[in-house]
Structures are given as C-alpha cells and as structure tokens.
Amino acid sequence: MLEELKAEVCKANIELYKSGIVLYTWGNVSGIDREKGLVVIKPSGVRYESMKPEDMVVVDLSDARVVEGNLNPSTDLPTHLELYRSFPNIMGVAHSHSIHAVAFAQAGRSIPILGTTHADYSSVEIPCTRMLTREEVEQDYELNTGKVIVECMEEKVLSQDDIPDNISDIIPGALVHSHGPFTWGSDPMDAVRNMVNRIVKQDPAAKARLIELWDETKPKLMNLNDYVTETAALLDESQKLNFKRWPILNTRVHQNPKTYGSYSAEVNNVKQYITGRLSRFDELVRK
Ligand SMILES: [Zn+2]
C-alpha cells in the first residue's frame, strides 16, 4: 500500500537525519495521499541508519487509525494531522529539533528575515507561536501543538495584503514556542483561500455579511455575459479575418488547455465559464 509514498517519506527522513540537524530520533517527516486520505509517517523510536520504507506507518487522516505498519507512528503524528487538515494544499510536513531553530523557539522569538537564503524560502519572518497553556500541555499536547501553529498562521496570513493561493507561498513553517520548528511543503492549490473560508464560516456574522455583499454584487456580474456578447459582435468582422490570417488564433495559449476552432466558439466558452463560476460561487457562499 502506497509503496511510492512510503519510499519517498523514508528517504526524506533519512535526508533530514543526514543534514545533521536531527539528534537521536528527534525528528520526523510525513507525506500525504490526499485522494485516499492517508498519511505516511516515520515510526516512533526507529534509528535512521536502519530505516526502511516498509517501516513507515500508514494512518488515516480523519481519525489517526493505523491502516498499515507494525510499528507505532511518530508521537508527533497528531501535530502533522492537524496541519494536513487545516492546510489542504500541503503535501508534506517535517519536524526537527535543529539546535539553532530550537534556540529561537525556546527564547520565544520569531526568526527575522535577515539573510538571502531565508529570503529564497520565505518572504517574511518565520513566526514563533504563542506558548501553550498548562491545560494544552497536559491534555493532547501534540494535537494542541498543531492547533497553535494553525492559529499563528491564520493571524500571519490574514495580515497580508495579497492572500496567496498557497500558505507555503508566504511561510514554509513555524517555530512552536519552547519546542522547535515544523515546516511544510505544498502543491499549487487553494490552501489559504480554504483557510480563510473556514474562518469566515466559523463566524455567523462574517458569513451573513459575505452573503449580503455577494447578493449586492451578483446582479452586476450577471450583466457580464451581455457585455461579452456586445463586445464580441463589435469585433466579429475583424476576428473572422484574423482567424483566417493568423493560425496562432486557433492554437493553445496561456492556461487554456482547449481550443475551440472558431471565434464564436471561443466567445461561448468565455460566457459558459462566467456562468459556471457565478453559480459555483453562489453555491459556496450559502453553504
Ligand atoms: Zn519535537
């Protein structure tokens, strides 16, 4: 089961160890198969030198149940799961007790962006979470560790002017106060938008306001297709000529994976796209 992902996760764990930032067995990497809803993680307490792909533990994202593997999953599993559940675009999570990062974490300080290598990986400081409360430490420490990271990220992301498609586009990780770093990798999808969605949906007042704003805006957007029809008619004559003269107009451009062969078909496609997006948004806002 998930042989490729297990090999990948095993290799990543060994690489983390070889990089010299992991002491003893205090570090772990996991990966996720989003389609199957399964997470592959390093087993607990196994030495990196002898680690094999078949030692990796497969767990269910929804309930942390072990689906395959004879060893126990890393004790940090609940933290990894919380991050995967909260950031739907991240595909891998890593944790270490790197001495330098732990020094910042134990001092409760974010890592300021002072170096070029830091800037290559993140355009902002690496934030340090708040300290966990006594209750959070005593009950479900690992799960609460995930939760304070999510809380810290939500604050960071919402303070940005431009909300990017993916959380990793702003911050690839965080320091957990008095503990150490957790980092994540991603796919180009919608993590942050989903996260913002989630925040909005937890707040009934924000949700009501969103629906109000959408109801105001929607009628204006419904006219978009009329505008496209009018403009297309104006350009019709010249487009007929262009389609004959320039073969490039009938080839694949930009992100559009399809071509439609004629000007009117291209115009219809734009109109259909607009109609589709409007009804999809309508559905999402009211959910
Ligand atoms: Zn740790």
The 10s digit of each residue's pLDDT in 152-169 is 988 877 666 665 666 666
Ligand 1 centroid from CA 85, angstroms: 19
Ligand 1 centroid from CA 91, angstroms: 20
Ligand 1 centroid from CA 108, angstroms: 15
Ligand 1 centroid from CA 100, angstroms: 14
Q: Which residues contact 277 (CB under 8 A, 6 or more apart)?
A: none
Ligand 1 centroid from CA 160, angstroms: 29
Ligand 1 centroid from CA 9, angstroms: 18
**Over its length of 287 residues, how does the chain's per-residue pLDDT go in tens digits?**
899 999 988 988 888 887 777 777 788 889 999 999 999 999 998 888 899 999 999 999 999 999 999 999 999 999 999 999 988 888 888 888 888 888 888 999 988 888 777 777 777 888 999 999 999 999 999 999 999 999 998 887 766 666 566 666 678 789 999 998 888 876 323 333 333 444 445 567 667 777 888 888 888 888 888 989 998 898 888 877 776 666 665 565 555 556 677 788 888 988 998 898 888 888 877 77
Contact 61, 84 (CB under 8 A): yes
| 3-class SS string, the chain | CCHHHHHHHHHHHHHHHHCCCCCCCCEEEEEEECCCCEEEECECCCCHHHCCHHHCEEEECCCCCEEECCCCECCCHHHHHHHHHHCCCEEEEEEECCHHHHHHHHHCCCECCCCHHHHHHCCCCECECCCCCHHHHHCCHHHHHHHHHHHHHHHHHHCCCCCCCCHHHCCCEEEECCCEEEEEEECCCCHHHHHHHHHHHHCHHHHHHHHHHHHHHHHHHHCHHHHHHHHHHHHHHHHHHHHHHCHHHHCCCCCCCCCCCCHHHHHHHHHHHHHHHHHHHHHHHHC
**Domains of the chain with bracketed CATH:** 3-190 (3.40.225.10), 203-286 (no CATH)
Q: What is the pTM of this model?
A: 0.64
Ligand 1 centroid from CA 28, angstroms: 9
Ligand 1 centroid from CA 182, angstroms: 9
